[in-house]
Amino acid sequence: IGEDEPMDVKDMTEEEFFEWKLKNSARLAPGDSLFDRHSCGDLATNLEYMASSYGFFVPYLEHVEDLEGLVDYLGQKVSVGNVCLWCNKSFGSMEAVMKHMVDKSHCKVQLEGNEDEFQDFYNISLEGEEEEWETD
């Protein structure tokens, strides 16, 4: 294989595959639905659309510090990682994970047990501890 020819995916290390996925995956913007690629154009309209179409809501919304960042992260999890937001099951494509989430009613975010994954977007501890997630 020449230097400018792409590596076979099966020959890539995990890190190489992750970088390849980041570079080559379609991305969802914060204005794009996480469940059907419908584009609303802006975050607020998109959240309303996903709530009315799929019952989606952002848990503990009143404690979210970076809503756009959170929705962007969820979009990357679906579009680049092809991972279900509820059960964390991996799929081969964005379309497959979207179909799974809709078919299984997994159009929701699982925070319990995943607090570390989401701590950058919230200003509370979801573990019921007195201390906040934020660290100096």
Sign of the torsion formed by the C-alpha atoms of 60, 68, 74 and 119: negative
Q: What is the mean pLDDT of residues 12-24?
A: 76
CA distances from 44 to 41, 64, 66 (A): 9, 14, 13
134 located within any domain: no
Domain that holds residue 66: 12-121
2 located within any domain: no
d(CA 70, CA 83): 15
45 located within any domain: yes
90 located within any domain: yes
Strand segments (E) across the chain: none
pLDDT in tens, 67-81: 999 999 999 999 999
46 located within any domain: yes
30 located within any domain: yes
The count of structural domains within the chain is 1
72 located within any domain: yes
77 located within any domain: yes
- For residues 45 and 32, is the Cβ–Cβ distance under 8 A? no
pLDDT exceeds 70 at position 130: no
The per-residue pLDDT of the chain, averaged, comes to 86
pLDDT in tens, 45-74: 999 999 999 999 999 999 999 999 999 999
Q: What percentage of the chain has pLDDT greater than the value 70?
A: 85
d(CA 14, CA 17): 5
Q: Which residue has the tokens 């997630």?
A: 133
